[in-house]
Chains A and B, each alone.
Chain A
Amino acid sequence: MLNIKNGIILVFVIAGFLLPISIKDRFLLHILINIFIWSILTLGIRLVLLAGPLNLAQASFMGMGAYTSGLLAMRLGWSFWLCMPAAGLVTALLAVGIGYPTLRIKGSYFVMVTFGLTEVFRHLWMMWSSLFGGPQGLLGIPRPAPIHLAGLTIAFNSKVPFFYLALILFLITVFVMHRIDLSRMGLTLRAIPQADLLAECVGVNIMGYKVAAFAIGSFFAGIAGSFWAHYFTYCSPWDFTFVASFYMLMYAVMGGMGTVLGPIIGCFIMLGLDELLRPFKEYMPIILGVILIGILLYLPGGIISVPERVRMLWNRRQS
């Protein structure tokens, strides 16, 4: 438990908690909040991708989480602290319902189905305006109610409480995803794309695992969506399109799929780059697309595989 790696992680976590005290720049906090939330979404897509299926509908699940949370708060007056887990649960159940018939569909066709799903959800949200608010979406979603903790009242009227909330959600997600990686489930998920028939013949219920991973990834998407809705106080169908899903996929692939660190680094670098290159906003998709294809062709392990690659090249040069 006590080693260098865990030490570094602890340092980062502590730094994260101390950050808002030292840095008052609201904009930086906003960027970090974005990075945390996108990391959650990206880790969700990665989990399912480990087992094979490429889920382009992750943004739609985020949207369902956002709409569910917003509607529960606005129509039923639920407290945010109930809305968020409820949103996660609803999204997970939705994922089970959708995943059960569709995950048995072969690879590339499944991708098409998820692509189609993003369009279906978008049309659904726009069509059913009485419930979802139509093309404008939901406006005026309430901020989380103030919490009273140890004599302090934390009101959600600045970026700082949202930052801490996002940080905590991020840490929980990373912890869960990492533990899954190390668990029997993680091993089994990784086994499926390598030899699914073999896995089945030693007792693995392939569909069960795929649906479970799909549900977990979607649960976190729902949570992230709920945060999104109450942070921005509005959500619209255009926030949750296939393009958003593709960004999540890109960050995962660019960072590196092997561990949970990859997608996180992918998000930090790419979203950071996004901010640095703000003047060139229109060119960003082109730049990202080119980097993505470059990585697919020449660096399939993603950015985190760079140290290993360098080490291998160095060893080769030595001998």
Chain B
Amino acid sequence: MEMLLQTFVNGVMVSLGIILIAAGLCLVFGILEIINFAHGEFYMLGGFGVWWFFDQHPLPIAGSPALQYILAIILTVILVGILGVLVERFIFRKIHENHTNTIIAALGIVFILQASALVTFGSRDKAVASPFSGMISLGGISLSEERIAAIICAVVFILGLYYLVQWTRMGKALRAVAQDHEAAQVMGVNIGHIFSVTMFVSCGLAAAGGALMGPIFYVNPYMGAEPVMKAFVVVILGGMGSLPGAVIGGFIIGMTESFVTTYVGAHLAMIVVFLILIGVLLVKPTGILGRGE
């Protein structure tokens, strides 16, 4: 019974991490209409960011470790977001009509970022000491404080995204562009700005995911590959361009992975996830809540 609950909580955490990455992918696809294969690398940079700004070179700000940790995450998110904006502005914007070349370029960025991280930080796993080191007992099971904190932070980010998209003027502009680029422009929306904002939010969310997962697992330059693959499955499952779909898909995949890993094995979990991907693409490519092409 305890293992069941642990697996469940773990599944929630994993799901939320995946949702953070998937939401970013979803945004970029819905608004820029490109599939950002380099997305996982921003997740990876998020992990290294929190390692750098919290573990290695803590920010010179007085306060509890928890506060420093939060600030490190925020700083990382901002920096990675800016990087994303630059990548879009100088690379994707020039070639986005050619889908194949955009994919190849994104893979090239994966190469560059991954190798840069390797050169700068080395290939060994890095641990990030979490500011939350206790254990909490809930109904007979012990859950680590750091996992609870990660869940709470992830929920905050996701709710923040929801607020941005649904309740702000910027969100309205984002939704307008997602619907129809030309119509939005006619209404006075500056498409370039919208693209930049989208990339900032998208890559920032990926970085948040990496920053939150970093202390719980390890940080290394290859950590972006698997999460982005899972995020792809989530986005396709939930429907490309649908944020609620990404949430639903995220929970399905996260829970599947958690339970299969615990009760069967990690290798098989990846294979199962992959089979889900193929299944969805063959049967209903638009996904559960998809917009359709």
Contact: B278 with A292, CB < 8 Å? no
Tell which of B91, B104, B236 has the most Cβ of chain A within 10 Å: B104
Contact: B112 with A289, CB < 8 Å? yes
Counting CB contacts under 8 A, is A288 at the interface? yes
Contact: B100 with A293, CB < 8 Å? no
With contacts A123-B270, A297-B94 known, is A113 near B277, CB below 8 A?
Answer: yes
Counting CB contacts under 8 A, is A156 at the interface? no
Q: B293's closest neighbor in chain A, by CB?
A: A106
Counting CB contacts under 8 A, is B115 at the interface? yes
Q: A285's closest neighbor in chain B, by CB?
A: B115
Binding site for A on B (CB under 8 A): 35, 37, 91, 94-95, 99-101, 103-105, 107-109, 111-112, 114-116, 118-119, 225-226, 229, 232-233, 236, 265, 267-268, 270-271, 274, 277-278, 281-282, 285, 293
Shortest Cβ distance from residue B36 to the other chain A in the assembled complex, whole angstroms: 11
Interface segment, A114-122, A215-223, A311-319?
A114-122
Counting CB contacts under 8 A, is A147 at the interface? no
- Number of A residues whose C-beta is below 8 Å from B? 41
Contact: A127 with B103, CB < 8 Å? no
Q: 19 A–B contact pairs at CB < 8 A? A: A52-B100, A101-B278, A107-B99, A108-B35, A108-B103, A111-B103, A112-B35, A112-B277, A113-B277, A115-B232, A116-B232, A116-B277, A127-B267, A285-B111, A285-B114, A289-B108, A289-B111, A297-B94, A297-B95
Contact: B281 with A300, CB < 8 Å? no
Cβ 8 A contact of A293, one of B37, B91, B233, B293 = B91
> How many interface contacts (CB-CB < 8 Å) are there between A and B?
112
With contacts A282-B115, A297-B95 known, is A105 near B285, CB below 8 A?
Answer: yes
Contact: B99 with A108, CB < 8 Å? yes
Shortest Cβ distance from residue A100 to the other chain B in the assembled complex, whole angstroms: 11
With contacts A112-B236, A119-B274 known, is A289 near B115, CB below 8 A?
Answer: yes
Counting CB contacts under 8 A, is A290 at the interface? yes
A250 to B105, alpha carbons, bound, how many Å?
Answer: 10
Contacting B at CB under 8 A, from A120-144, are 120, 123-124, 126-127
A127 to B236, alpha carbons, bound, how many Å?
Answer: 27
Q: A127's closest neighbor in chain B, by CB?
A: B267
Contact: B271 with A246, CB < 8 Å? no
Interface string of A286-315 (1 = CB under 8 A from B): 101110110011001000000000000000
Using Cβ atoms and an 8 Å threshold, which residues of chain B touch A249? Answer: 104, 107
Shortest Cβ distance from residue A120 to the other chain B in the assembled complex, whole angstroms: 5
Q: A112's closest neighbor in chain B, by CB?
A: B232
Using Cβ atoms and an 8 Å threshold, which residues of chain A touch B105? Answer: 292-293, 296-297
A246 to B114, alpha carbons, bound, how many Å?
Answer: 13
Counting CB contacts under 8 A, is A259 at the interface? no
Counting CB contacts under 8 A, is A102 at the interface? yes
Shortest Cβ distance from residue A190 to the other chain B in the assembled complex, whole angstroms: 14
A282 to B112, alpha carbons, bound, how many Å?
Answer: 11
Using Cβ atoms and an 8 Å threshold, which residues of chain A touch B225? Answer: 119, 242
Contact: A283 with B119, CB < 8 Å? yes
Counting CB contacts under 8 A, is A192 at the interface? no
Contact: A126 with B278, CB < 8 Å? no
Q: A280's closest neighbor in chain B, by CB?
A: B119
Contact: A296 with B278, CB < 8 Å? no
Cβ 8 A contact of A123, one of B91, B99, B100, B271 = B271
Interface string of A204-247 (1 = CB under 8 A from B): 00000000000000000000000000000000000000100010
A112 to B287, alpha carbons, bound, how many Å?
Answer: 15
A108 to B25, alpha carbons, bound, how many Å?
Answer: 13
Using Cβ atoms and an 8 Å threshold, which residues of chain A touch B271? Answer: 120, 123-124
A135 to B234, alpha carbons, bound, how many Å?
Answer: 28
* Top 10 closest pairs, chain A to chain B, by CB: A285-B115, A289-B112, A289-B111, A127-B267, A292-B108, A123-B267, A289-B108, A116-B274, A286-B115, A108-B35
Q: B233's closest neighbor in chain A, by CB?
A: A116
A286 to B285, alpha carbons, bound, how many Å?
Answer: 35
Shortest Cβ distance from residue B293 to the other chain A in the assembled complex, whole angstroms: 7
Using Cβ atoms and an 8 Å threshold, which residues of chain A touch B226? Answer: 119
A115 to B37, alpha carbons, bound, how many Å?
Answer: 10
A7 to B270, alpha carbons, bound, how many Å?
Answer: 52
Using Cβ atoms and an 8 Å threshold, which residues of chain A touch B100? Answer: 49, 52, 54, 107
A19 to B28, alpha carbons, bound, how many Å?
Answer: 52
Contact: B282 with A119, CB < 8 Å? no
Extra 14 A-B pairs, beta carbons < 8 Å, given A282-B118, A288-B108:
A54-B104, A102-B281, A106-B285, A117-B274, A119-B226, A119-B270, A124-B267, A246-B107, A249-B107, A253-B104, A289-B111, A289-B115, A290-B108, A292-B104
Using Cβ atoms and an 8 Å threshold, which residues of chain B touch A17? Answer: none
With contacts A108-B99, A109-B236, A293-B109 known, is A120 near B270, CB below 8 A?
Answer: yes
A126 to B116, alpha carbons, bound, how many Å?
Answer: 28
A117 to B275, alpha carbons, bound, how many Å?
Answer: 10
A249 to B110, alpha carbons, bound, how many Å?
Answer: 14
Shortest Cβ distance from residue A258 to the other chain B in the assembled complex, whole angstroms: 15
A108 to B118, alpha carbons, bound, how many Å?
Answer: 28
Shortest Cβ distance from residue A58 to the other chain B in the assembled complex, whole angstroms: 13
A245 to B232, alpha carbons, bound, how many Å?
Answer: 19
